[in-house]
Amino acid sequence: MGADIAGNNELSATVQSRSVGLKMYNIIVKNTRGKGVQALALSAYADKQGFYGCTFVGYQGYQVYGKCYIEGATDFIFGQTARALFSQCVIRISGDGWVTANGRDSSLNPSYYLIDKSSIAAASGYTGVGRSYLGRPWRNYARVVVQRTVLSNVISGAGWSQWSSSSPNTDHVSFQEYGNTGDGASGARVSFSSKLSGAVNPKSILDGDTSWVDLGYVYQ
């Protein structure tokens, strides 16, 4: 179901997760609405949620995701306040667009996305080369790091993009990369992105508290 029928983005989600400490293993979650409107596979609205070995397939729309399969097209990993770690995930792009759309709106907002040791490539049936981006800033303080990840040629040489020509939202963004490989890891990146001198410690995304994370699953 899409947001056009459900009434809003959240209600379009196949799964709405609001339980603190939720753990989900080996579940396939799909929203089959397709192109045209936002159609979420997962809406996660609670702290210390872990998703392991899961598959999420949506169209426009998604704080530990370990060894998950995530597929979408336009801004399919998005949110406003979550600190989300995507570790060893298979991320597939099904149409021209952006992987992330972080909505961090101030320097005090904790939101932070880290994609680590993953792969980003075209989904089956999508042949776009250089027509997708790692992310764009939904709000002016967007913060995303992509590191130690294999990027296929589906990713533009620019790497990242502004929100729109009328609202670029790039004044205070933090779009960073480290140690990425593949055809999509090269090219003249946009001026509002940067390269890190070292990898971000995944635990820092979670403020050092990993007591609720199944580290054995994520890092075995």
Indicate which residues carry an active-site annotation.
75
Query: What angle (nearest 5°) sits at the alpha carbon of residue 162, between those of residues 139 and 73?
Result: 90
**Cα(187)–Cα(155) distance, rounded to whole angstroms?**
10
In this structure, is the dihedral angle defined by the CA atoms of residues 131, 183, 72 and 34, taken in order, positive or negative? positive
**Cα(103)–Cα(82) distance, rounded to whole angstroms?**
9
Classify residue 23 as exposed, middle or buried by CB count within 10 Å of its CB (0-12, 13-18, 19+): middle
Q: What is the largest CA-CA distance in the chain?
A: 46
